[in-house]
Amino acid sequence: MSRKSKAVLCRELNQPVVVEEISVESPRRGEVTVRLAACGVCHSDLSATNGTIPMPPPLVLGHEGAGEVVEVGEDVANFAPGDHVISSFIYMCGKCRFCASGRPVLCLEQGKALTTLPDGTLRTHDAKGKPVNIFSGCGVMAEYATVHVDNLVKIDPQVPLDRAALVGCGVTTGVGAVFNTAKVQPGASVAVFGCGGVGLNVIQGARIAGAERIIAIDANEAKLVLAKKFGATNALLAKPGEDLTKALKKLTGGGPDYAFECVGSGELAAAAYRAIRRGGLAVVVGVAKPSDSTSVRTMSLPFEEKTLTGSYFGSCVPRVDFPRMLGLYMGGQLKLDELITRRYSIAEAPQAFADLESGRNARGVIVF
Ligand SMILES: NC(=O)c1ccc[n+]([C@@H]2O[C@H](COP(=O)([O-])OP(=O)(O)OC[C@H]3O[C@@H](n4cnc5c(N)ncnc54)[C@H](O)[C@@H]3O)[C@@H](O)[C@H]2O)c1
Ligand SMILES: [Zn+2]
Ligand SMILES: [Zn+2]
């Protein structure tokens, strides 16, 4: 059986996204078909449409989705029709040394499901019957998606699906970078470069972790207002070419303990590294273009014992961390309602991408 499904596609690089009717085949062995309720629009989706993240079109976008299981394939024991699920965009083989040691974001087989299902095939075809790639094994910016069981996490049906969707990327990426990657300590000082869907979650993660000073940095004044709502104690407006190191060192008496780069720029990664105190930790979360690079003063490594590292999907284990995020939301600590600036119909998807690019939203969410 195949299901007709409206989907948001990148047809051509550097062109606006398009909404098309595609067909989504039934699940094969180890797969599940989901009827999506909502999908957040992440900067990584936009990056796939302009080549920053190389994923060849035609491509069904979307990796921050939530919905309801409608059909399960052979050998699927843990999901049944009616279950509520969130998509997870990392492939995990379960067997390599990274998967075996609880670090699935580093799975050695990750390349297997970059734009297809893990077996290298696709369940998505356009009106002419041509196969359509899917974003990171997901392609959930669509009414239906057939994905592998390892790309889904079952959740408490009490959580509204539009808010649950955000846990599929932005929330787990941001909060996970604080909890899992950096392990931010109570009383710490934290600087956050870029206060979009990801950066705001670094900010609220830092607040929940008990950070004392959280300095939000963004080039867009409106984002700084939002940042304060999510827990930032200070805000700095980034002006082109201006080095904020001095300002950050002054605010924190020598530099923040941690700095997070949530934009995707080598220049800002270097700025985050420069700003941190001796022995501090700078974490790059933003995804820069493949040609981008960053540099640090080599001498500062031995003499200042600083660390520059990265964080992929909040160093998470989806089946552990998704329920943890939802628990924090249900317990009133994690703000999800406030993250959604605007809901869009699928027909409004091009507007949702334009609004992301112009910085209008904390998060825009497409509802189906
Ligand atoms: N590491 C991961 O696993 C992971 C997961 C999801 C997203 N990402 C990446 O994280 C980045 C942020 O994603 P998002 O969805 O929050 O994007 P977003 O567009 O919502 O937010 C980016 C923010 O950066 C600000 N900004 C842009 N240039 C700036 C500058 N020079 N100085 C200060 N602020 C600046 C913008 O005003 C905006 O508020 C992207 O690169 C995305 O691809 C990484
Ligand atoms: Zn994302
Ligand atoms: Zn693996």
195 lines ligand 1 (CB under 6 A): yes
Determine contact, residues 233/215, Cβ cutoff 8 Å.
yes
Can you give the pLDDT at residue 274? 97
- Do residues 73 and 27 make contact, with C-beta atoms less than 8 angstroms apart? yes
Q: How many CB atoms lie within 10 A of CB 356?
A: 20
362 CA: nearest ligand 1 atom: 20
Candidates 334, 338, 317; CA nearest to 325 is 334
Task: Quote the DSSP letter at residue 181.
Answer: I
Instruction: Determine if ligand 1 sits within 6 Å of the CB of residue 238.
Output: yes
pLDDT confidence of residue 334: 98
Helix (H, G, I), strand (E, B) or coil at 151: helix
Task: Evaluate: CB of 58 within 6 angstroms of ligand 1.
Answer: no
Residues 256/226/46/337 CA torsion (nearest 10 deg)? 120
- CB of 177 within 6 A of ligand 1: the answer is no
**Could you tell me if the CB of 313 is within 6 A of ligand 1?**
yes
Q: Which residues pair with 33 in a beta bridge?
A: 71, 146
- CA dihedral sign, ordered 223, 224, 228, 233: positive
CA-closest residue to ligand 1 atom 24: 194
Asked if the peptide bond before residue 256 counts as cis, ω within 30 degrees of 0, the response is no
Mean pLDDT by 10 residues, the chain (368 residues): 96 98 98 98 98 97 98 97 98 95 96 94 98 98 98 97 98 98 98 98 98 98 98 97 94 97 97 98 97 95 97 98 98 98 98 98 98
Q: What is the pLDDT of residue 361?
A: 97
The answer to whether the beta carbons of residues 236 and 250 sit under 8 Å apart is no
- Whole-number Å distance, alpha carbon 95 to ligand 3 midpoint, is 5
* Cβ atoms < 10 Å from Cβ of 57: 18
User: Is the model's pTM score more than 0.85?
Assistant: yes
Residue 1 has what pLDDT? 86
* Segment (H or E) for 25: strand 18-25
Distance 113 CA to ligand 3 centre (A): 12
> pLDDT for 8-62, tens place per residue?
999 999 999 999 999 999 999 999 999 999 999 999 999 999 999 999 999 999 9
- CA 319/CA 66 separation, integer angstroms: 14
In sign, the C-alpha dihedral spanning 76, 330, 343, 62 is: negative
Which atom of ligand 1 is closest in space to residue 220's alpha carbon? 37
* 355 CA to centre of ligand 1 in angstroms: 14
Over residues 83-98, the pLDDT tens digits come to: 999 999 999 999 999 9
Ligand 1 site, residue 312, Cβ cutoff 6 A:
yes
